[in-house]
Amino acid sequence: MKRIKTLETRDLAKSLKTGGCGECQTSCQSACKTSCGLANQQCENSNR
């Protein structure tokens, strides 16, 4: 595609089927403690 470059991202549709194991870090249990974001949370599901 000449005008569009798509970055590699996780397929969220697929993750709906394989995700939800809950082993990842709780969102607030890290550096912030006063605001919430989860974009930086690592997925820990080896079967994703």
Residues that bind another protein (CB under 8 A): 1-13, 15-16, 18-20, 22-45, 48
CB of 5 to another protein, least distance (A): 4
Supply 28's token pair: 């607030």
CB of 46 to another protein, least distance (A): 11
CB of 35 to another protein, least distance (A): 6
Can you spell out the DSSP letters for 25-47?
Answer: PPTTSSS-SSS---TTPPP--TT
**Of 48, 42, 46, which Cα lies nearest the Cα of 16?**
48
